[in-house]
Amino acid sequence: MDNRKLTVLLIEVKETDSRQIRAYFAQVESPQVEFIHIESHAFMPTVYEMDCVDVILLPRKIHNDQHIQEYVNSLLDATIVVPMDNADISQIVQEIVHICLLKNQFNATLLEETIDYAQDRKQLTQTIDFMQQEMAASKDSLERLVANTNDGIVVVDSSGKVCLVNSTAHELLGESGTDILGLNDCDFNSGAKSEVGELNNVGGNRSTEIKVVNTQWQGESARMVFLRDVTEQKRALAELAQTRKTEQFFAYHDSLTSLPNRQLLMDRLGQTMARAKRYAHQFAVLFIDMDGFQEINNSLGHEIGDAVLKKTADRLQKALRKSDTVARYGGDEFFVVLDRLTDSAVAYKVGRKFADLIAQPMQCGDYELNVSASVGISLFPDDGQKEGELMTRAVKAMYDAKREGPSGCRYFNKTLEESNGEIGIFEQSLDRAIRNGELTPYFQPQISLASGKIVGFEALVRWIHPEKGIIAPADFIPLAEKHGLINKIDEFMLRSACRQIKKWEDSGYGALRISVNVNANLFRKKRLLKLIAEVIEETGLMPKQLCLEITETQVMQNVENTIKILSKLRAMHVGLAIDDFGTGYSSLSYLKRFPVDILKIDRAFLEGVPNDHENVAITTAIVALAKSMALEVVAEGLEEPEQLEFLQNLNCDEVQGFLVGRPGSVDAITKLLRSDYCMYAHL
């Protein structure tokens, strides 16, 4: 519907008629109509500058005036309304409203209600005129008319006493006849100017229109009060107004989740970008896609699928600031705009938080579901200067995250996306690196807090590129997952790490433990058990020296199958650790069933410790939980002495992090072992 005002020019229209016409449109509150009243067509030159007049209302006697015709001919889209000499106001209003409708300024339902309202008021006016005439005739005639009319009527004499009331007035005012007859006329003083007004909530929840006119009663001055129930008309108009608000809301919001839709998202993203360019600040675009959502729809039905989407939308919305936007883009896809970022790292923390929130168990109908979502992040201005660029790159980052497994979160990697040709070359280089031994394990020490000694290592892959030097895992692991090379990397790491730990043992450095990460894809492969057996046999390593690390998110996918795999590994006497514990919201009832040995506290929960009270509480609870289940606890990401002291006070078993040992090459770690390293001697 067109939102501009409709301009109506009233030429030589009576002032009383003009007021009534305006009143009709004010009652229905739509469309936006501007009235301009010209008292005489002789003043027409003053409005010649107005070129946006839609309706001209004028008497028949001046219809053919030369000035009028010249002005009308200069307008492009004006409609002239020339009422018949005996036309009443309601007919004129209907004519104007019809024009509004034709100009797409009014909806048809509202037109109908407006006309009904106008006709009711016309009837009331006619009733008043008729009653005034009859009152002059006789008291008996008046009383008969008062008793039989459908309007409520109250007569107030010159002394202010209510002396005549009909049954309709009793009903509308909600008073007994005796009570009304004794009332003072103060309730009707507001209408003493013979103008139409309204009494709200008279007689309960009704809306009653009131008009007071001066008249004669038994030869003396009096006032007659006319009452009419307009509750239904007001209700209908209120419902229409609410319907229009609802229609306007869902023009820009998703009907299922009530989140902003695509149209509103693009508008807000455009505004955010304009502010960012003006004030030179960062913002982020996050794309969130549910993992395996189609399976929920197919197996449990669309009703459950819709419930999952609504709960997901609610969790996302509650986690955002008011200045941010989350929108449903379609299906199981959501976009988030994070405005005014002081640090790009905040975007990753929020993305990780979203993935973790969605991964919490959802009660949907009779089902408790464990769902997950992958998150991709693009940053302004680094990843794009246009809305479409940022959205496309956030989507690409999401697909990189999805290849990590459920609940992944990734920044857009511009280096790896330079061109399809470069990606092809990079893929070939990675494949060659596996074959040519350019991949190598680095080892990060795991330190016992009781002794300060090294008790094991976590194996971390590094790519020693002949031209680019050391390439970080974040720059090639996603690509390896994308092209199906990740299992080769994990198998290489498993064999080479176990082989090296056995060499150190043979060199007299003790039976150290080696922890190796296993990706979700390899973990589900039947080949895993055979591979582990082969590696143990080839290297001569004791099974208990090998610890496989599986993320908490991984173990919560297809729980029953996970338990079967873990049980078979336990039967081989291989150590098992849940990595990143605390981020996957695993159920305690499931945790009791997992045959694991170690819980690794995610590095995020050590941030800010001991000053971050929330992280202190979470870490304390994880350590207490592990102790109660006779599990060892390893804390990752140790970087500050205060964190170390905090963990010592909790009786945490082991730590790893830059404070006590950075990842190192075989030569660097051999030198460290040769020195009989003790953490406490170096702090």
Q: In whole angstroms, how far apart are CA 550 and each of 3, 83, 188, 372, 512?
A: 59, 84, 81, 17, 20
With beta carbons less than 8 A apart as the criterion, state whether 492 and 439 touch: yes
pLDDT, greater one: 642 or 296:
642
Average pLDDT over residues 294-301: 79
Query: Model confidence over 505-534: pLDDT tens digits?
Result: 999 999 999 999 998 778 877 789 999 999
Q: Which residues pair with 547 in a beta bridge?
A: 515, 575
**Distance separating alpha carbons of residues 14 and 11, to the nearest angstrom:** 9
Query: Model confidence over 236-251: pLDDT tens digits?
Result: 777 777 777 777 777 8
pLDDT tier for residue 597 given thresholds of 50, 70 and 90? very high
| pLDDT above 90: residue 287 | yes
Nearest of 252, 370, 398 to residue 311 by alpha carbon = 370
What six digits make up the tokens of 61?
């006697």
Query: Model confidence over 616-627: pLDDT tens digits?
Result: 999 999 999 999
Output the pTM of the full model. 0.44
Residue ranges of the alpha helices (H) in 149-286?
A: 167-173, 177-181, 231-250, 262-279
What six digits make up the tokens of 530?
């055979």
With beta carbons less than 8 A apart as the criterion, state whether 113 and 240 touch: yes
pLDDT, greater one: 93 or 280:
280
pLDDT, greater one: 522 or 478:
522
**Token match 């496309």: residue?**
392
Q: Note the pLDDT of residue 184.
A: 45
Q: From edge to edge, which strands make up the β-sheet containing 409-411?
A: 325-330, 333-341, 282-290, 373-380, 409-411
pLDDT, greater one: 36 or 348:
348
| pLDDT above 60: residue 192 | no
pLDDT tier for residue 131 given thresholds of 50, 70 and 90? low
pLDDT, greater one: 571 or 408:
571
pLDDT tier for residue 336 given thresholds of 50, 70 and 90? very high
**Distance separating alpha carbons of residues 503 and 498, to the nearest angstrom:** 9
Average pLDDT over residues 63-67: 69
**Token match 């988030």: residue?**
336
Specify the pairing of strand 513-517 against strand 454-465. Answer: parallel
